[in-house]
Chain A
Amino acid sequence: MAKILITNRDGEQSEIEGEIGISVMENLRDNDYELEAICGGQCSCATCHIYIDDAWLSKVGARNDEENELLEELDCVQPGSRLSCQIEFSEDLDGLTLTIAPDE
């Protein structure tokens, strides 16, 4: 059992029981968060943009090159920006805290 703590686009906080072994994007989508995730996790669309809480940044690891290029072009990119389809959810991420980025 591992939790994900989420702030949605309206600023409301909630928590879900994350499924291990699938991406954070899939977890958010399965639980009805308003992510579009149009490319389905192919790192082609940037519509699964989230902000990782500072405390978790080092734990989730670094952005990959393609992800970086997509993120850098977004208007609302922040240091904690990640594409949620590029993070696999694992036991180690129990308690992961994130915010869904605005729709661009």
Chain B
Amino acid sequence: MTQTIIVVGAGHAGGQAVATLRQKGFDGRIIMIGDEPYVPYERPPLSKAVLAGELEVERTFLKKDTWYPDKQIDFRANTQVTAIDRRAKTVTTSHGENLAYDKLLLATGTRVRKLQAPGAHLENIFYLRAIDDTLAIRKQMKPGAKVVIVGGGYIGLEVAAVAVKMGCDVTVLEGLDRVMSRVVAPEVSAFYDKVHTDAGVKIRTGMAVTGFEGHGKVERVTCADDSFFPADLVVIGVGVLPNVELAADGDLAVDNGIVVDEYCQTSDENVWAAGDCTNHPNALLGRRLRLESVQNAVDQAKTAANAMCGELKEYAEIPWFWSDQYDLKLQIVGLSEPGDEVVIRGNPAERKFSAIYLRHGKFVAINAINMIKDFMAAKKMIAAGTQLDPVRAADPEVPLKDL
């Protein structure tokens, strides 16, 4: 009997998984079901080159649309999986079909967290998760347009960088006391704050957005301190939530993500999960976590696809991530925590420096800004659990790898 693998979610992890399954020689049936109208694509350029109009949408596709039929992958776009019946080993789709599987992969990703505030339904208030969001935002980003961005995380700041370059009047409203506070040290936040300010973006921290006003279309954003900001369009980037309802309703273990083991297997031996939606263990980090990054989506998808083909290779990678804003290439390796010792290496004023994070003297994370060599060396050193001397690490003349 030929086996059937069903992949739910046609995002980065789903797309990588089906490619790996065929590369591994799996010749059974593959059905990939995605609720978007597109073949799997890369999201990072959506807040960068695609938004700036420098990259056509088709070039974000992981594979051309003809690849799926060529590889006998039954790809169903615009289709949502609405239920899993683990006993019958079937999934139900929004078109009312019941499809049988032998093995199931959940690659459902995340969705944006919506701001519940008065006026949130007004026109020209956007979130950025999918191609269509980017195209809609781009259409409104005319020179002179007043753009208010809610949330000073990566996505908000990447959008700010593109918008100001396009001649928009850009304001970023961040609730906490500094931008990117979730992921970088205060020194790095201060640097990005200055870069954006110098470029003409108005950054307002400590701002709690209370609502939106306008006649049909948004006209202004109101804040808790009674201040308000005129807006032609608003882009909200205040985090994401894992899509776990399908798994939870199917009685799979869920805890801030679909709970999987080091081989991406869920609490059901015929069901795997990969990507942003998983809560997974990482032996190198010594803990469980949920991650939102392409590296994790790709590596977990491979792990799951390998495991489905009977090849068990444990997932344990040091997470890494990047963000492009202006001419700044920010590359992040590892996960820093409040309380880590921060060593600044190089000169922020020259737009070229790294923030190194040490925990009990151990190198645990880096934010490398236009410091490509540091990024590359850090990947290996952090995985190896290297101890660093903070004084020597601060000297950019000494190559990181020699420490």
Contact = CB atoms under 8 A, between A and B. Distances in A.
Given A32-B22, A39-B322, A66-B372, A44 B294 contact: no
Interface in B284-334: 294-295, 298, 322, 324, 329, 331
Interface string A42-55: 11111000000000
Contacts of B63: 29-30
A76 B63 CA distance: 28
B329 A66 contact: yes
Contacts of A30: 63-64, 67
A72 B44 contact: no
B90 to A, nearest CB: 30
A-B interface, 6 closest residue pairs, ranked by CB to CB distance from nearest:
A73-B376, A69-B372, A44-B322, A40-B42, A69-B373, A38-B294
B171 interface: no
B179 interface: no
Interface string B56-80: 0001101110010000000000000
Interface string A27-42: 0011010101011101
Given A34-B23, A66-B329, A39 B44 contact: yes
A70 B376 contact: yes
Q: Name the prevailing secondary structure of the B interface residues.
A: helix
B42 A72 contact: no
Contacts of B136: none
A36 B294 CA distance: 11
Q: Chain A: interface residue count, which band?
A: 20 to 34
Interface of B: 19, 22-23, 42, 44-45, 59-60, 62-64, 67, 294-295, 298, 322, 324, 329, 331, 372-373, 376-377, 401
B295 A73 contact: no
14 contacts: A26-B59, A29-B62, A29-B63, A30-B63, A30-B64, A38-B298, A42-B322, A44-B322, A46-B376, A66-B372, A69-B372, A69-B376, A70-B376, A73-B373
A69 B331 CA distance: 13
Contact of B23 (A32, A42, A43, A69): A32
A70 B60 CA distance: 23
Contacts of B298: 36, 38
Nearest to B20: A34
Contacts of A43: 329
Interface in A46-104: 46, 66, 69-70, 72-74
A16 interface: no
B44 A40 contact: yes
B372 A42 contact: no
B322 A73 contact: no
A40 B331 contact: no
Contacts of B44: 39-40, 42
B295 A38 contact: yes
Contacts of A42: 44, 322, 324
Given A43-B329, A73-B401, 5 more contacts: A30-B63, A39-B294, A40-B42, A42-B44, A74-B376
Q: Could you say which of A39, A46, A74 has the most chain B C-beta atoms within 10 Å of its C-beta? A: A39
Nearest to B376: A73
Nearest to B372: A69
B232 to A, nearest CB: 30
A30 B70 CA distance: 12
Contact of B372 (A22, A34, A38, A70): A70
A44 B23 contact: no
A70 B294 CA distance: 19
A69 B298 CA distance: 24
A22 B59 contact: yes
Contacts of B64: 30
Contacts of B19: 32
Nearest to A23: B59
Contacts of B322: 39, 42, 44-45
Contacts of A26: 59
B373 A72 contact: yes
A29 B348 CA distance: 36
Contacts of A72: 373
Nearest to A40: B42
Contact of A44 (B22, B59, B62, B329): B329
Contacts of A40: 42, 44-45, 60, 294
A42 B23 CA distance: 25
A38 B13 CA distance: 12
Q: Could you say which of B59, B376, B377 has the most chain A C-beta atoms within 10 Å of its C-beta? A: B376
Given A29-B62, A73-B373, A44 B331 contact: yes
